[in-house]
């Protein structure tokens, strides 16, 4: 039996460069792993792949990304071994935090060990990219630059440790819809990735925080103004910066101390924001 943490991510910067002929968008993103996590428990069994999930509203069948990761790896490695996958979900679903991608990455990494396949990270990365654009990042974690459709990742200097308050408004925002609605001329600002990289190299948290931009807010904020309201609350209550993660709708804020994070979270709760979490940055994923 093997138990793994599947860490959520936030996007410290997200730029959309252009729409590609294959329908995906070319992006440039700075991704950060955080301690909010699902627990993935893998138990070897003779043949079949089986899945159990601790929450309602998420299919525990072959459509689940964790199941698909196991099936893809089994085909690729031409093994007949089976596994029972148990998912203890804590990362909210369809939130812009890559919960499903994190589960899939943990399954790939875990089964590589459990089934004794000895695949290297490059091979696992290629399989990960077939499951979703965010899955390769989730294999590595830490602080990474993601390009292409998000699947090409390269390590950056780590973001200095800090606390992350996550607030998810009660709206459903499908990723494909957000990319589909994106129009470059509607984005008020674009992140300067090169400058953020310099602040990462300097280990300057405030320098990074001040320059965080997500161009997908230009789609989601007009449709869901509560995203902008939560950002404003976070800043008012003491976060050093606040931004929507990925395609949303979760907003994250950064603070240097746990005390500040608890203040921000408490005030947001009092304002009626339904789902709030406090996490820390994770610089290295096991």
Ligand X SMILES: C[C@@](CO)(OP(=O)(O)O)[C@H](O)COP(=O)(O)OP(=O)(O)OC[C@H]1O[C@@H](n2ccc(N)nc2=O)[C@H](O)[C@@H]1O
151 binds ligand ADP (CB under 6 A): no
> Does residue 5 interact with ligand ADP by CB under 6 A?
no
Nearest Cα to 90, choosing from 73, 108, 104, 102? 102
134 is catalytic: yes
Please tell me whether residue 175 binds ligand ADP under the rule CB under 6 A.
Answer: yes
CA angle 71, 73, 78 (to 5 degrees): 95
Query: Which listed residue (15, 109, 134, 231) is catalytic?
Result: 134
Q: By beta-carbon distance, which residue lies closest to ligand ADP?
A: 100
Q: How far is the CB of 65 from ligand ADP (least distance, A)?
A: 4
In the block, residue with structure tokens 């992006």: 27
* Position among 100, 136, 160, 169 found at the interface with ligand ADP (CB under 6 A): 100
Give whichever of 84 and 197 is closer to ligand X, judged by the CB atom. Answer: 197
Q: d(Cα 286, Cα 260) in Å, to the nearest integer?
A: 28
Q: How many residues bind ligand ADP (CB under 6 A)?
A: 17
Nearest approach in angstroms of CB 204 to ligand ADP is 28
Position 58 contacts ligand ADP (CB under 6 A): yes
Question: Nearest Cα to 264, choosing from 233, 243, 226?
Answer: 233
Site string for ligand ADP, 227-266 (x = CB under 6 A): -------------------x--------------------
Rounded to 5°, angle at Cα 151 from 145 and 153: 30
Q: Which residue is nearest to ligand X (CB)?
A: 246
Q: Work out how close the CB of 261 gets to ligand X at its nearest, in angstroms, rounded to a whole number.
A: 22
- Are 4 and 105 spatial neighbours (Cβ–Cβ below 8 Å)? no
* Token pair in block for residue 259: 């005390």
- Contact between 65 and ligand ADP by CB under 6 A: the answer reads yes
In 3D space, the residue among 90, 91, 79 whose CA is nearest the CA of residue 44 turns out to be 79
| Footprint of ligand X (CB under 6 A) | 11, 14, 24-25, 27, 29, 96, 98, 101, 132-134, 149-150, 175-176, 179, 246-247
CB environment 224-257: b (16+ within 10 A), e (fewer): bebbbebbebbeebbbbbbbbbbbbbbbbbbbbe
Decide: is 64 part of the binding site for ligand ADP (CB under 6 A).
yes
**Which one of ligand ADP, ligand X, none is in contact with 58 (Cβ closer than 5 to 8 A by kind)?**
ligand ADP
Asked if residue 249 has a cis previous peptide bond (ω within 30° of 0), the answer is yes
Q: Give the DSSP letter string of 192-227.
A: -HHHHHHHHHHT-HHHHHHT--BTTHHHHHHH-THH
Is 206 in contact with 240 (CB distance < 8 Å)? yes
Minimum separation from the CB atom of position 10 to ligand ADP (A): 10
Which residues are marked as active site?
Answer: 9, 134
Residues lying near ligand ADP in the complex (CB under 6 A): 58, 64-66, 87, 93-101, 103, 175, 246
């Amino acid at each position: 039996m093997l138990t793994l943490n599947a860490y959520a991510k936030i996007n410290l910067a997200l730029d959309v460069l252009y729409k590609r002929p294959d329908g995906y968008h070319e992006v440039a993103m700075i991704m950060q792993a955080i301690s909010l996590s699902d627990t993935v428990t893998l138990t070897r069994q003779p043949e079949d792949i089986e899945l159990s999930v601790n929450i309602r509203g998420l299919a525990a069948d072959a459509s689940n990304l964790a199941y698909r990761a196991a099936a893809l790896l089994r085909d690729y490695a031409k093994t007949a071994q089976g596994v029972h996958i148990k998912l203890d979900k804590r990362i909210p679903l369809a939130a812009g935090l890559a919960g499903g991608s994190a589960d899939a990455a943990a399954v790939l990494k875990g089964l590589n060990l459990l089934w004794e396949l000895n695949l290297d990270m490059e091979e696992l990365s290629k399989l990960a990219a077939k499951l979703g654009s965010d899955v390769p990042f989730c294999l590595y974690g830490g602080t990474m630059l993601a390009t292409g459709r998000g699947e090409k990742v390269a390590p950056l200097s780590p973001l200095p440790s800090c606390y992350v308050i996550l607030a998810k408004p009660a709206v459903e925002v499908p990723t494909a819809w957000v990319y589909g609605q994106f129009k470059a001329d509607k984005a008020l600002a674009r992140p300067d990735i090169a400058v953020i990289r310099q602040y990462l190299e300097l280990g300057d948290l405030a320098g990074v925080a001040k320059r965080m931009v997500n161009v997908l807010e230009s789609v989601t904020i007009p449709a869901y103004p509560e995203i902008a309201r939560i950002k404003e609350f976070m800043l008012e209550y003491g976060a050093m910066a606040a931004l929507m993660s990925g395609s949303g709708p979760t907003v994250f804020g950064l603070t240097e101390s746990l005390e500040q994070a608890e203040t921000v979270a408490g005030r947001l709760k009092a304002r009626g924001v339904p789902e709030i979490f406090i996490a820390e940055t994770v610089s290295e994923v096991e």
